[in-house]
Every structure is written in structure tokens, then in C-alpha cells.
Structure 1
Amino acid sequence: MTLTEAINTTRRHIDAHWEQTFRDSSQAPTAREFPLPRPHTVPSTDPCMWLFFYWDSYFTNLGLLRQNRLEQAINNAENVIHCIEQIGLVPNISVRIALNRSQIPVSAVLFEDIFRHTGDLAWLQRAYAALNKEYAFWMAMRLAPNELNTCGTNADPITLANFYDVISHRLVDIPTDPVARMQYLRHKMAECEVWDFNPRFDQHAANFNPVDTNAILYQFEIIAGDFARTLGLPAEESVWRERAAHRRTLIDRYLWNAAKGFYFDYDWAHGRQGQVVSAAPYFALWAGVCSDDQAATLAQNLPLVERAHGLMTCAEGSNTSKN
């Protein structure tokens, strides 16, 4: 089988099995789940994964749109809008214990893809209103003193204890001391707003400005400005442009390491860059944060995380803390 034949076979398989990934949670048990108004796309047909996951929905939508399944892509976008309208954020997962945290905010680029396909200005107005509300969450609840964003959780002790029941089988280094355990669980839950679980944040995720989160928020601000222009809101467009320009300056100041030609997460609590080389800087390339010179340097440094079958999340030898 040639490479082209293999690709076409894979595409046909995906197209034939999309319906197996569509789930209606509108009547789900509300004690556990946060019901969604439209069918959502799940990342796996394993029943344990039959939930809505925030950033998975964006990448899934790319496939749906490519295979002319606009209706389901709109359903996913509508569920994102619903979450923002109802709880002010898009949860990491559509379960009750996850309503205290979000995930890398891909709503803007997800909405942009839908609008490109529909041109529906009335829908864009709703989506734009949702973006404003979600942005308020990130800037009120996840803003570090250096004006870049961090990750975190608003979970209470009971929710953290429930979280332990969910993750304990996945981790081997959970402290036995009650206070240390709660601190550890809060860190692990905060990681879920970025990557769960990883060595990037030295066991204190809320103390860091993640490269990928801030790169996506830069993209978010650019797209929101584009929406404001499309909707005839020049004053709001100007505000979004200023926000994006300011964030780009801060990203260059705190996250870019010119000597190494790479972006690093920034430990704002201790005033230093993290040490872990990861694939996260390539979100900055995708989001348009980089200058031409930075982009070229990042491309040259790709072998730091590139292996035969793709990219490693974190480079070998960069595990400076327990996972």
C-alpha cells in the first residue's frame, strides 16, 4: 500500500465512524455531568471518555469541517457558547468536578472556523459576546502579577478530595501528609488547564505563565479584534489590538530566551524562566506570536523535541521534578 492509499483508507475509516463519536448529553445525570444542549463529539469511543473536552473540540472540528460535517462542528461550537453563557468559562471536561477549571482557550479560533464556513453575522454576535465573557474569566481569575496569564483552579477541599479518587491510579508520588496532599492535588488540578500531567511547572503550576496558554490568548485577542471589525465595532477592535500588542511585548520579555532561541514557561513567583524544554513553544509559532527571526530559530530547534513518529511533549532529560 502506498502512502497515498494509506491516507485515503484512513480518511474513509474516519468518515465512516464519525457518528460513533457523537453523544447527546442533554439528559445526562446532572449530579455528575454538566449537560450540554447539543450533541458533542467525544475524543474516544471508550465509555470512560464519553465526555466533552474543551480543546479536543477544536481539533475535532478541523476534521469535521474537512469532511463536510458542518452541522456537528456547529454543535460543538454551540456547546462552547453554552458553557460560557452558563458558567462564565469553558470547563476542562463536562463533569461537575471540573467546573472549577478551564483549559487552553481555543474558543476564538474555533468560532473563527465556523464563521468562515457560514458567514452568519447574527451567530457571530453571539460568539463575540461569549468571547468577551470568557476573556473576563481569564483576566480576573487567571492573571499573574506580571500581567501574563497563569493556570489554576477554584476547587474547594471536597472537590480536591474527589479529584484524588479520579487520578490516584495514574500517579505514584501523591503525598501521604494531608496538607501536602491538598497542595499536590491543587497543583495537579491546575495542570489540567494546560497539560495533564507534565514536569513543566516544578510542582507549582499556578506560579507559572505557560507559553501555550499565553500564545493562544494572544491569538484569541487578535481574532476577537477581527470579529469586532466585522461587526462594525471599531473602538472595541482598537482595544483588542492594544491587548494583543501588550501581550506580545510581555511574552518577549518573560517567555522568550534569546540565548537559547526558545520560549520557556515563566515562574513569576520566583522571577525566573522554567528549565523544561517542551513542545509548547510551537503554539507560539502557530498563534502568530513570533517574529520572523524567532520563527526561524524555533524551526531550527525543532530537533529538541522531534522524534521519528512526531513530537515529544517534553524533551528527554528535562524532567526536573516528579510528575
Structure 2
Amino acid sequence: ILALMVELLWQHEHSKTNNVAWLEKCVNALEKEYAFWMQGSEELTNEKTALRRVVKMPCGGKLNRYWDDEAAPRAESLREDLALAEGLAEHKKPDFYRHIRAACESGWDFSSRWLAEPSSLSSIQTTDILPIDLNCLLYNLEKQLSKFNKLLGNSQQADLFSDYAAARRTLINKYMWSEQQHFFVDYNHHKASQSKVLSAAASTALFFNLASEQQAQHIAERLSRDFLKAGGIVTTVTSTSQQWDSPNGWAPLQWFAVKGLNNYGFSDLSKRIMQNWLTMVENDFSVNQCLLEKYNVCVPQLKAGGGEYVVQQGFGWTNGVTSRFYTLCED
């Protein structure tokens, strides 16, 4: 996400004064972030295929996952984690705690995306999963580092990151595009199989212009048919007791979908998403007098639920996305 913010600031402010000193600072920060995600990649072999956040694929390429170095209960949710781990064999508890922590790193805490059994949080397997959205975000980071290094005259670094981005795009299509589902999905590297969970995270492939025109057509059709509800795009098509599943919708996923669809010319569908979202937010605001962290987009009259805490008031990303939708609808 940091690369997206740097791109916006460069485009709308610093490029106008050619502020390369500012850009150089940002590139240093972005390269440090990239090094964090790729840490240990040079140590991977055919026998040791995963280390921290990097996984070596059967073809030799590398994709990323969420991870946590500590295999212990979360300090902020100690009681919940210990209770969930009670039924597990002692030797399975460290992996369980790591999976829980990695899911929190993803921001999707929790979702059927990470679960072997959608109804059981104790079946969590986050570090086995290569997420479509994380790898699309890293594809964008590689592309931005190529672009920014070129602007700074670092042609060798620019070419290097351009090659990284091209390789990742090929890998995403190879392992995460489901010909059966006609949709981008997560990939379980431990089982060497694609996930059956369909999530709005697939929209990131459109958001970053990574999909082909044909893929975009399939994704748009699937979003319209299975994801678009009365209040906008639902998080996954799987209904569970977790908050990052149906029937809940989250503002940033609406934005990924709307911007992604607009990138490929599906403006009618993106307008429907925006209008559904704005109608829901306005109706809810008339009752609660505030914006919320998440909404029940399937039945907007009902309050969103699931997860480990009550719905939070505010809320930064809801405010930002809703404001942007008003602007786009006026245009």
C-alpha cells in the first residue's frame, strides 16, 4: 500500500516541482520494505522451499505469503488463542499460533480464505496460503520501484525490478488463475492446489492492470453475478462467523473493485457498486449518525457481525472511499 501512496503524492504534488530528493527518500523506504518481504529468498532450495514470507514454487519462481516469526498466542487476544488451542495436540499449537498471527498481518482476520474448514477457526492454515492480493500488491511495488529508479537515473535497478515484476505476473497467472472458476484465487503451496474460496481480493488483479482483457471479462461477470449485493461487493461468497466473509463488505474492497473495473472499461458495473454502497451508507447513517468500519452488504438493514469485537465507529477507510465515490458519481 505504501507504493500506492508514494505514487499518488508523486503524481499530484512532487512531480510538478521534480522533487527528486523526496523521491529518492521514498525509493529507499520502498526498497527496505521490499527487502523485508523477500528476506531469505536466496536461501531457498528445492528441499527448503519456504522461509519467512517467501516461497519457492515448483517452477523455480518465488511468490509471497503472510508470516510471523513468533509462534505464540497474541498478547492482545491471549484468552481467545489459548481457548482455541486447547483442543489441539501440543506439537500443533506453535503452528496454530503462527497461522493466527499471520492472518492478523494480512488484515483479513479472520476469513475462510485462511481456513481448511470454513466453520472452524482452529483449522487455520494462513502460512500455507499464497494470497492473490498480497502478490498483486508486491507486483505493483516492483513496478513502481522500476519506474522510480528509472526517473532517478538508476537504470540497472530499474531493469532489475522490471524483470521481477514480469516474473511475478507470469507466476500469478500460472498458479492463481483458475480456469475452472474463471477467477483469481489464493494458492495453497503446502497442498500444491488452488483455493476453492472466492474472495473480492481477486479485484486487485484488475486494480493493478495485471489481468488480460479476457480474464477481466470473466472477473467482471463473476463480481456481478456472485459478489454484488444490495450494499456493494461482499468480501467472500462463503458465509461464516468470521468478519472477513459473507455477509460483510469492507470499504477498501469496494475501491479495489470499482477502480479495477474502470481500468478495463466496465463502468456500468462499477457505478452499480458505488450506488449500492452509497445508498446503504446513507440509509445506515440516517439511523446511526456515524460511518462504520464494515457493513452487512447482503442485508443492509442488519448490523454487520462476526469476528472478535463489535463493529467500530469512524471510520477512516469508509470515510475515504465513500467520499471518493461521491466525486466519481458526480463526474
Shorter-chain TM-score tier: 0.5 to 0.7
C-alpha distance in structure 1 between counterparts of 2:241 and 2:182, whole Å: 20
- Give the equivalent residue in structure 2 for 1:154: 69
C-alpha distance in structure 2 between counterparts of 1:267 and 1:198, whole Å: 15
- Give the equivalent residue in structure 2 for 1:113: 8
- Give the equivalent residue in structure 1 for 2:226: 304
Question: How do residues 21-170 of structure 1 correspond to structure 2 at under 5 angstroms?
Answer: 106-116=1-11, 117-119=13-15, 120-140=19-39, 141-146=52-57, 147-155=62-70, 157=72, 160-165=73-78, 168=80
Local SS of the residue matching 1:280: helix
Letter in structure 2 aligned against 1:307: K
The alpha-carbon deviation at position 226 of structure 1 amounts to 0.9
Is it true that 1:196 corresponds to 2:109 in the alignment? yes
Decide which of 210, 218, 225 is 2:131's aligned counterpart: 210
- Give the equivalent residue in structure 2 for 1:237: 158
CA contact (8 A) 1:264 1:276 kept: yes
Letter in structure 1 aligned against 2:55: A
The alpha-carbon deviation at position 208 of structure 1 amounts to 1.0
CA contact (8 A) 1:277 1:318 kept: no
Letter in structure 2 aligned against 1:109: L
Higher strand share: 2
Local SS of the residue matching 1:144: strand
C-alpha distance in structure 1 between counterparts of 2:28 and 2:66, whole Å: 23
TM-score, normalised on structure 2? 0.60
TM-score, normalised on structure 1? 0.61
C-alpha distance in structure 2 between counterparts of 1:180 and 1:313, whole Å: 29
Is it true that 1:279 corresponds to 2:200 in the alignment? yes
**In the comparison of the two structures, how many residue pairs are matched?**
214
The alpha-carbon deviation at position 196 of structure 1 amounts to 1.0
The alpha-carbon deviation at position 118 of structure 1 amounts to 2.1
C-alpha distance in structure 1 between counterparts of 2:70 and 2:136, whole Å: 25
The alpha-carbon deviation at position 145 of structure 1 amounts to 1.9
Q: Deviations over 1:94-143 (max 9, x none)?
A: xxxxxxxxxxxx11111111112222211110110111111111111411
Give 5+ residue unaligned stretches, structure 1: 1-105
CA contact (8 A) 2:74 2:101 kept: no
Letter in structure 2 aligned against 1:314: T
Letter in structure 1 aligned against 2:32: K
Decide which of 133, 143, 151 is 1:222's aligned counterpart: 143
C-alpha distance in structure 2 between counterparts of 1:128 and 1:238, whole Å: 15
Letter in structure 1 aligned against 2:33: E
CA contact (8 A) 2:112 2:238 kept: no
Decide which of 284, 287, 290 is 2:211's aligned counterpart: 290
Q: Deviations over 1:3-39 (max 9, x none)?
A: xxxxxxxxxxxxxxxxxxxxxxxxxxxxxxxxxxxxx
C-alpha distance in structure 2 between counterparts of 1:298 and 1:270, whole Å: 25
Identity percentage over the alignment?
30
Q: Which moved more, 1:113-122 or 1:142-151?
A: 113-122
C-alpha distance in structure 1 between counterparts of 2:113 and 2:200, whole Å: 11
C-alpha distance in structure 1 between counterparts of 2:7 and 2:83, whole Å: 41
C-alpha distance in structure 2 between counterparts of 1:213 and 1:245, whole Å: 16
C-alpha distance in structure 2 between counterparts of 1:232 and 1:180, whole Å: 50
C-alpha distance in structure 1 between counterparts of 2:83 and 2:218, whole Å: 37
Is it true that 1:255 corresponds to 2:171 in the alignment? no
Spell out structure 1 runs of 4+ moving beyond 4 A.
171-174, 176-181, 317-321
The alpha-carbon deviation at position 291 of structure 1 amounts to 1.1
Q: Specify whether residues 318 and 284 from structure 1 end up closer, same or farther in structure 2 by C-alpha distance, changes over 3 A only.
A: farther
C-alpha distance in structure 2 between counterparts of 1:192 and 1:287, whole Å: 24
Give 5+ residue unaligned stretches, structure 2: 40-51, 117-123, 246-306, 308-331
Instruction: Name the Cα RMSD after superposition.
Output: 2.6
